[in-house]
Structure 1
Amino acid sequence: MNLMLTVAEWLGDPQQWSGPAGIPARFLEHLGYSGLALLIAAAIAVPIGLLTGHTGRGGFLTASAANVGRALPTIGVLMLVVLAVGIGLTPVMVALVVLAVPPILVNTHEGVRGVDPQLRDAAQGMGMRGHEVLLRLELPVAVPLILLGLRTAAIQVISTATIAAYVGIGGLGRFIVDGQARRQFEMVAGGSLLVVLLAVLVAVLFYLLRRLLVAPGLRRRTPVGR
């Protein structure tokens, strides 16, 4: 109870809400790093997943690469890149992108492969070519799983982006790292709470996107938490 009160006092302190080290600035930094990493990961994983899912080739390699990406420790990747290129934004981006690619890649591939073969045959019978089948049939049907992969990756990246603080970059992780160094546990708990809040907000955003972009019939076929 005392910790909860001290966290509430820390969050209610006006000094925490102003300046370059304040909560709004750190919040935007954290959101910026996370959004950039998710964008890069999506630019890599979605086209590859669409291609392998559409052609039916490379599925084993896709799954193997995704499993390797999942198995790599994010902190370990971060430290290796830091040793190679030095401290800065690059090692953080590399580590977060490696973390984000697997769920997007696997869900995109499986979303396309899960399209009913009879629908493909019907589309081809209507004269659609390969790329038209992909863009006008397979991609819309795969959107629910693609969004699920993006949501999973986004939450993982937001939770892990606190590592940016370990290499001298800002974000909400600064509250956790600085709080540990100063033994100010209310700062550690407050920073952790803010990260959780951001993850929840992003989950809500993807829920709204799902409601907006996915047809009702597809929403019923693909549970939110699948």
Structure 2
Amino acid sequence: MTDILSAFAWLFDPVNWSGEDGIPNRLAQHIGYSALTLVIAAIIAIPIGLAIGHTRRFRGLAVGLSGALRAIPTLGLVVLLALSLSSVSLTIIPALIALTILAIPPVLAGAYAGVESVDPRTVDAARAMGMTEFQILRKVELPLGLPLLIGGLRSAALQVIATWTVAAILSVGGLGRYLFDGLPVRRYDEMLGGSILVVALALVVDGLFALTQRLVVPRGVTAGKVADVRTRDTGRSVGTARVSSDPAVSPEAP
């Protein structure tokens, strides 16, 4: 309990809210690194996932490749790339490559799963209307599969935010610096405070993605569900009225 109180005291200390090592600057760095990683992973994985989901080809290869990428130890890959790219002046490059590899599998899975989840009868109807394959993907499959695609981005974002904390071992910025800078001098309040900031950031980002998932659901889908429920309820009411008005089946009939 004392450690937690010390961590919150560190968080609310005005000294830690200014300067290069201040919380706003470290938080902005962490968000920037995470956003850049997610954008690169999305640029690579989303087109491939959409193509796989639309054509229904190479799904097994994509699943196997995603599983293999997930099995790679991220910290080991970060260190390996740092040693291999020691001549690169930007220390962010090894961590950026490693975390992009980490983010690709969930984004790829969300993209092809979203397209595959679309009812084949809907796709066949679009083809019967004369739509091209690209039009079907853009106007039918992508809008209907967008919630699952956002779900893949949501999962990748949480992994990236958490892992950029570990990537601070390469002396890059971000909230992970509070853990690696506080450990040698045993500043446990700083380490715990930095961890709280990472958790808070992850929760906020997760909430924003959850809200986005709800907002991107096409209105026609939700309207169709409501209409379907009302139709069922109306049908049941009509059926009950018919049964009760039929003297042959009425419980009061002799």
Per the TM superposition, whether the score is higher than 0.5 is yes
Task: Give runs of aligned pairs for residues 92-107 of structure 1, distance below 5 A.
Answer: 92-107=95-110
Distance 1:218 1:108, change over 3 A: farther
Find out whether 1:190 has 2:188 as its counterpart.
Answer: no
1:65-86 Cα offsets, whole Å, 9 max, x none, are: 1001100010011111111112
Partner of 1:119: 122
Q: Give the superposition deviation at 1:33.
A: 0.4
1:89-110 Cα offsets, whole Å, 9 max, x none, are: 1111111101110011011111
Q: Give the superposition deviation at 1:13.
A: 1.1
Whole-angstrom distance in 2 between the partners of 1:134 and 1:201: 31
Find out whether 1:142 has 2:134 as its counterpart.
Answer: no
TM-score for both structures, normalised by structure 1: 0.94
TM-score for both structures, normalised by structure 2: 0.84
The 8 Å contact of residues 144 and 219 in structure 1, kept in 2 or not, is answered as: no
Q: Give the superposition deviation at 1:212.
A: 2.4
Whole-angstrom distance in 2 between the partners of 1:144 and 1:14: 41
The 8 Å contact of residues 99 and 157 in structure 1, kept in 2 or not, is answered as: yes
Partner of 2:237: none
The residue type paired with residue 186 of structure 1 is D
Whole-angstrom distance in 2 between the partners of 1:173 and 1:94: 18
1:95-150 Cα offsets, whole Å, 9 max, x none, are: 11011100110111111112111111100000001101111111111101100000
The 8 Å contact of residues 115 and 141 in structure 1, kept in 2 or not, is answered as: yes
Q: Give the superposition deviation at 1:202.
A: 0.3
Partner of 2:216: 213
Q: Give the superposition deviation at 1:8.
A: 1.6
The residue type paired with residue 4 of structure 2 is M
Task: Give runs of aligned pairs for residues 3-152 of structure 1, distance below 5 A.
Answer: 3-86=3-86, 88-152=91-155
- Greater gyration radius: 2
Give the paired residue count. Answer: 221
Q: Give the superposition deviation at 1:211.
A: 2.8
Partner of 2:232: none
Whole-angstrom distance in 1 between the partners of 2:81 and 2:132: 43
Whole-angstrom distance in 1 between the partners of 2:120 and 2:12: 57
Whole-angstrom distance in 2 between the partners of 1:163 and 1:192: 11
Which runs of no fewer than 5 residues in structure 1 stay unpaired?
222-226
The 8 Å contact of residues 141 and 218 in structure 1, kept in 2 or not, is answered as: no
Partner of 1:224: none
Whole-angstrom distance in 1 between the partners of 2:224 and 2:163: 31
The 8 Å contact of residues 164 and 170 in structure 1, kept in 2 or not, is answered as: no
Find out whether 1:155 has 2:158 as its counterpart.
Answer: yes
The 8 Å contact of residues 144 and 218 in structure 1, kept in 2 or not, is answered as: no
The 8 Å contact of residues 46 and 108 in structure 1, kept in 2 or not, is answered as: yes
The residue type paired with residue 136 of structure 1 is K
Distance 1:12 1:47, change over 3 A: same
Q: Give the superposition deviation at 1:12.
A: 1.6
The residue type paired with residue 173 of structure 1 is G
- Partner secondary structure for residue 214 of structure 1: coil
Whole-angstrom distance in 2 between the partners of 1:93 and 1:147: 21
